[in-house]
Amino acid sequence: MENKRRLFTLITPPSVFLLFFFMVPLVIMALYAFKSSSFGPLFPLSLNAFNNFFSNPAYFVLLINSSQLALLTAVLSIVLAFPVSYYLVFYTGSRRVMLLTLLILPAWISYLLRVLAWKVILGSEGLLNQLLLATGLIQDGAPILLYSQAAVLITLVYVWIPFAALPIFAAMERIDPRLHEAAADLGASPSVTFWRVTAPLTMPGVASAFFFVFIPTLGEWVTPTLVGGVSGIMYGNLIQDQFGRALNWPLGALMSMVLLVLVGVFSYVFNRFIPITEVPVSS
Amino acid sequence: MRQTGKWVGLGYYLLLLLFLQLPILLLIVFSFNDSVLLVFPLKGFTLQWYRELLQATELINAAKNSLIIGLVSSVVATVLGSAAAIAIARYNFPGRAFFLNIATLPLVIPYVVLAVALLLMFQALNVELSLWTIMIGHTIINMPYVMLIVAARLSGFANNLEEAAMDLGATYWGTLMRVTLPISMPALVAAFLSSFTMSFDEFSLAFFLAGTQNTLPVYLYSQLRFPSRLPLAVTTAAVVIMVSVVILLFSEWLRRIGTGRVPKS
Domain with B231, as residue range(s), is 63-259
Are residues A74 and A40 part of one domain?
no
B88 with A3: Cβ contact below 8 A: no
d(CA B57, CA A182): 65
B184 part of a folded domain = yes
- B226 part of contact set with chain A, CB < 8 Å: no
How many structural domains are present in chain B? 1
Mark yes or no for CB contact A99/B13 under 8 Å.
Answer: yes
Q: Answer whether residue A124 shows pLDDT above 70.
A: no
Q: How far apart are CA B58 and CA B62, in angstroms?
A: 6
Q: Which of B120, B201, B254 to mutate to test the interface with A (most CBs of A within 10 A)?
A: B120
If asked whether residues A51 and A163 sit together in one domain, one would say no
Decide if A108 and B197 are in contact by the 8 Å CB cutoff.
Answer: yes
For residue A7, list chain B residues with Cβ-Cβ distance below 8 A.
87, 91, 93
Other CB atoms within a 10 A radius of the CB of residue B160 amount to 10
- Regarding whether A223 and A178 lie in a shared domain, the answer is yes
Task: State ipTM.
Answer: 0.85
Conformational region of residue A136, where left means phi above 0, alpha means psi within -120 to 50, and beta covers everything else: left
B171 vs A contacts (CB less than 8 Å): none
Cβ–Cβ gap B118/A161 under 8 Å: no
Minimal C-alpha gap between A14 and chain B (Å) = 5
pLDDT one-digit tens code per residue, B249-258 = 777 677 666 5
Q: What are phi and psi of A31, to 5 degrees?
A: -65, -40
CA distance B171 to chain A (A): 11
Q: Give the mean model confidence (pLDDT) for residues A64-80.
A: 94
Residue B210 neighbours by CB under 8 Å, 6+ apart: B129, B133, B134, B218
CATH, residue A89: 1.10.3720.10
- Residues sharing a CB contact under 8 Å with residue B209, sequence separation 6 or more, in sequence order: B115, B118, B119, B122, B129, B133, B134, B136, B137
Residue B147 pLDDT = 92
B132 belongs to a structural domain: yes
Q: Which residues pair with B33 in a beta bridge?
A: B45
Q: What would the mean pLDDT of B90-118 be, rounded to a whole number? A: 89
A180: domain range?
Answer: 56-108+158-243
Same-domain status, A237 and A254: no
Q: Is residue A192 part of a domain?
A: yes
Same-domain check for residues A44 and A85: no
Residues from chain B that touch A13, judged by Cβ atoms under 8 A, are 79-80, 83
**Cis omega before residue B41 (within 30°)?**
yes
Q: Is A106's CB within 8 Å of B84's CB?
A: no
Q: A266 and A162 in one domain?
A: no
B3 belongs to a structural domain: no
Of residues A220 and A144, more confidence is placed in A220
| pLDDT > 80? residue B191 | yes
Residue B13 lies in a domain: no
- The pLDDT of residue A64: 92
Q: Are residues A265 and A203 in the same domain?
A: no
Q: Which residues of chain B does A240 touch, with a Cβ-Cβ cutoff of 8 Å? A: 112
Number of domains in chain A: 2
Q: How confident is the model at residue A78 (pLDDT cuts 50, 70, 90)?
A: very high
Cβ distance of A161 and B20 shorter than 8 Å: yes
Strands (E), chain B: none
Residue A184 lies in a domain: yes
Task: Decide if B224 and A226 are in contact by the 8 Å CB cutoff.
Answer: yes
- The answer on pLDDT for B262 being more than 70 is no
Per-residue pLDDT averaged across A120-143, rounded?
Answer: 69
The pLDDT, as a whole number, for residue A255 is 93
Residue B24, in any domain of the structure:
no
3-state SS, A177-232, equals: HHHHHHHHHCCCCHHHHHHHHHHHHHHHHHHHHHHHHHHHHHCCCHHHHHHHCCCC
Whether the predicted pLDDT of A81 surpasses 90:
yes
**Residue B109 resides in a domain:** yes
Q: How far apart are CA A80 and CA A99, in angstroms?
A: 16
Look up the CATH number of the domain holding residue B209: 1.10.3720.10
In the predicted model, is pLDDT for residue A145 greater than 70?
no
Q: Is residue A1 part of a domain?
A: no
State pLDDT tens for residues A150-187. Answer: 889 999 999 999 989 988 998 898 888 888 888 888 88
Q: What is the mean pLDDT of residues B63-89?
A: 93
A185 with A269, same domain? Answer: no
Percentage of chain A beyond pLDDT 70 is 88
pLDDT in tens, A180-213: 888 888 888 888 888 888 888 888 889 889 988 9
Q: Is residue A162 part of a domain?
A: yes
For residue B212, CA distances in Å to B74, B133, B138, B218 come to 22, 12, 18, 11
Mean pLDDT of chain A: 83
By CB atoms closer than 10 A (0-12, 13-18, 19+), residue A276 is: middle
- CA angle A63–A68–A71, rounded 5-degree value: 125
CB A274 within 8 A of CB A208: yes
Candidate from A35-39, A244-248, B13-17, B164-168 with smallest mean pLDDT: A35-39
In a domain, A3, yes or no: no
Weakest-pLDDT range from A39-48, B65-74, B112-121, B134-143: A39-48
Same domain, A263 and A218: no
Domain assignment of residue A259, yes or no: yes
* Whole-number Å distance between alpha carbons of A98 and A104: 10
In this complex, is the C-beta atom of B210 within 8 Å of any C-beta atom belonging to chain A? no
Measuring CA to CA, how many Å separate A198 from each of A85, A173, A182, A266? 12, 10, 12, 26
In a domain, A115, yes or no: no
Whether residue A172 sits in one domain with residue A88: yes
| HSE (side-chain half, CA atoms, 13 Å) at B57 | 0
Q: What percent of chain A clears pLDDT 90, i.e. is strictly above it?
A: 28
Say if residue A50 is in the same domain as residue A183: no
Both A66 and A49 in one domain: the answer is no
Residue B229 CB coordination number (10 Å) = 16
Structural domain contains residue A216 = yes
